[in-house]
Every structure is written in C-alpha cells, then in structure tokens.
Amino acid sequence: MSTKSALDDVVSKILVWEEERPMEAVFFDVDFTLIHPGPTFDGSGYQSFAARHGLSVEPSRFTEAVCVASVELDSSNDNIYRPDPFIQYAKRVLVEMGASGSALDACAREIYDEWATCQHFSLYEDVRPTFSDLNKAGYSISLISNTHRCLETFQNHFDLSAFVTAAVSSSDQGYLKPHPSIFHEALRLVGVPAEQGVMVGDSVTHDVSGARQVGMAAVLLVRSGDVTNRRDDGVPEIRSLVELPSLLARWPVELSASE
C-alpha cells in the first residue's frame, strides 16, 4: 500500500469513527420535563394567593388567563434573565382572572418567588428510572433550566444529586434558553463538545432550537397530544422519558436516518 493510500485509509477510519461517535452527555430541561407544578399553581392556587393579598379572582378563568398571559413571557428579545417578565406574567394571569387593585404587584411577586419552591412540584414518574438507566449506560446527566429555582436544592429535594454532573440555571448564568451561552456553559462544565450532547425538553423554541443552534442534538418531549415520532426537522419526539435510553442507544442510526 502506498503512503498516500495508507493515509487515506487512516483518515477514512477517523471520519467513520467521528460519524459514529456516540452521545456521551444528556442535558435535561427541568420544568414540565422533570417536574410539574401541583395545585399551588392552578386556578384554586391562584385564588389562594389572591385572597392573601385581599384580591378576588375567578378560578374557572385560569386556563384562558394563562393563554392570554403567555405573551408577557415573550416580551424580551435579548434572552437576558430578568424576574420582571415572569412577575408580569403572574400579574396578567391575576388580572385576566378578574383581580384589580394596588395589591396586584405584591401578589404577583409572591407567586414568582414561590415558583422556586420545590415543595409545590412533583417529579414525573419516569424521571428516576430513566436517570438510573442512563447512568448505568454511562451517559452523564445535566440540567439546563430557565429558572430562578436553586438547582442544587432541586436535586437534593428530589434525591437526584447522585445522577447529575452539572446544572445551569438562567438566573445564575444570566441568559435564558435559547441563548447559546447557557448551552455553551453547560457543555463546558461537562467537558464535552456540542456534537456529543443531546438536549431533552418540552419546548421547541427553548430546548430544541436552542440546542441545535449550538450544534447539539435534541429530543422533544411531548407528554400529551399528538406525537409524530419525528418532526420535519428530523428531531425525534418521545412521549415519555423511558423511551430515551433505547433511542440514544440507536442514536447514530436515528441521526443518519433523519438527514
């Protein structure tokens, strides 16, 4: 074999290895991916918050109020983390439910503050078995969350610390997903290149698009509603986290099939 063909052979082997290099790190969104709020944050919960501040709301208007108020969360274009849009969101929900008066700001601030309290949330049943399986399979597990909740407290509260390598919250890091810097910071902490990381979350905008723009892979979690299994952009969809270990085990096949 000539020197050139031997070199070509080595290069082609490296290229194949690069293409087939498996995922090493899995990054999870937190809210509505790992945990969901309990009654503190439904219509009756908002009624309790309101009552503590002398406000009156109609709990049956909660679902519609949440839909209307969601525009408040899209008010920032720079993705810099600030409490204000979240407080304005809570205030708008209260207003849409019928509240008015000078106590609105204080009530909305209390709702925002309480969102950081783990006791108001439950862990989805598929989290612990999935983390355990991923851990046994050798993947690192990390968290990237648009939150002001302390993620160390979150891990301790739900007894997940043993599984988690790194955690980045937007309130600490300074930016919200889908800003590239929050993904880059998580990758840096874990010590993997973007192409060896996959982001798993329930938001197309924050989790899927954000991860893909920095070169990571993504999996969309659709806990309810229609699942197409693969979106037009090739991103796999799962209905439960328990689907994740087998999906990642097939990942080079999934990746090549989607391109």
Query: Least distance from C-beta 235 to Mg ion, angstroms?
Result: 15
Q: Kindly determine how many residues on this chain lie close enough to bind Mg ion according to the rule CB under 5 A.
A: 4
Q: 9-38: which residues touch Mg ion (CB under 5 A)?
A: 29, 31-32
When the beta carbons of 88 and 147 are compared against Mg ion, the nearer one is 147
Query: By the 8 A CB rule, do 124 and 38 touch?
Result: no
Span 46-105, contacts to Mg ion by CB under 5 A: none
Torsion of CA 67, 68, 72, 73, to 10 degrees: 10
Q: Of 58, 105, 202, 237, which one interacts with Mg ion (CB under 5 A)? A: 202
Question: Residue 199 gets which letter from DSSP?
Answer: E
Q: Closest separation between CB of residue 202 and Mg ion, Å?
A: 4
What's the DSSP call for residue 175?
B
Nearer to Mg ion, 57 or 235 (CB): 235
Count of C-beta atoms within a 10 Å radius of residue 91: 20
Q: Cα(129)–Cα(230) distance, rounded to whole angstroms?
A: 24
Q: Is 124 in the site for Mg ion (CB under 5 A)?
A: no
Q: How far is the CB of 177 from Mg ion (least distance, A)?
A: 9
CA gap 167, 28 in Å, rounded: 9
- Which window, 38-46, 107-115, 199-207, 208-216, contacts Mg ion (CB under 5 A)? 199-207
Contact criterion met (CB below 8 Å) for 21 and 13? no
Shortest reach from residue 145's CB to Mg ion, in Å:
8
Which residues bind to Mg ion, rule: CB under 5 A? 29, 31-32, 202
